[in-house]
Amino acid sequence: MAGEQEQSRRAWAILGLAIALCGLPLVVEFFRHVVGPRTTQNTVVRELIILALVAVLFWIIRRKEKLGWDSVGLGRAKPGSTALWVLIAILASAVAITIAFGVIHVLGLHFGSPDARGLDTLPTWVMVLVIVRAGLAEEVFYRGYAMERLQSLTGRRWIAIAVPLLIFAIFHYRQGAGGVVIALLTGAVMTAVYLRTRNLWVNIITHFLIDFIPNIVLPVFMRD
């Protein structure tokens, strides 16, 4: 019986990994190539589908793997420690972004997404939805779940680090080679922070702020 339960958990973990590593890119590419132009309605539906995948993953963790939230870094965290690590992660990410732009400049890499114009036409509340989804889903998928389950399934830490990081970086191919470099370096920072803290709340909050400040807060001040 114990062996059957372990096999069942392993099977569900493999399914969870498929969702974590491939779900988000598949949904985004489907909407990009099949659904058509980015509109408010299409964007909201896309984001809700991705959030639904997060909910499915949570269901797998709790109901099928029968594991706690701490198994993906979402256990109770000390507010003071979390805030301190968020600050550290933001500063480290700023350094990583600076280095990435240096690499982009030296190598003459292309950076810029053809989707940027579509984003500019979206209402602010939709942009906030996109940013919240990105902070939650990408960190749950590529850091919390993928890293923890690859570590437990393979027993190899380097696989748990390298595979999610590479997929996360390649997923940003629409931003050009420069976008991949930025995602790789900032993703490496997020990976290191999670390995050090095992507190996914740090990653989620940091990811949200890194997207929210330049895309929502700064434009408000620039308009004023």
Domain count, the chain: 1
Query: Alpha helices, DSSP H only, in the chain?
Result: 2-18, 24-30, 40-59, 79-107, 116-120, 124-133, 139, 146-154, 157-170, 176-197, 200-212, 218-223
Confidence (pLDDT) at 6: 85
Average pLDDT on 163-187 reads 94
Residue identified by tokens 């803290």 is 197
Span 30-85, pLDDT tens digits: 999 999 888 999 999 999 999 999 999 999 999 999 999 999 999 999 999 999 99
Banded pLDDT at 112 (limits 50, 70, 90): confident
Please report the pLDDT score of residue 223 as a whole number.
Answer: 64
First-to-last CA distance in the chain? 66
CA distance 121 to 129: 14
* pLDDT surpassing 60 at residue 147: yes
Could you tell me if 16 and 138 are in contact, meaning their C-beta atoms sit under 8 angstroms apart?
no
Residue 125, CA distances (Å) to 43, 135, 187 in order = 11, 15, 26
Q: Over 60: is that where the pLDDT of 224 sits?
A: no
pTM score, whole prediction: 0.93
Domain that includes residue 146, residue range = 2-70+77-223
pLDDT beyond 70 at 195? yes
Q: Are 145 and 60 in contact (CB under 8 A)?
A: no
Nearest 10 degrees: Cα torsion 151, 153, 158, 163: -100
- The confidence score (pLDDT) of residue 115 equals 63
Q: What is the reported pLDDT for 42?
A: 95
Instruction: Name the average pLDDT for the chain.
Output: 93
pLDDT band at 2 (very low <50, low <70, confident <90, very high): low
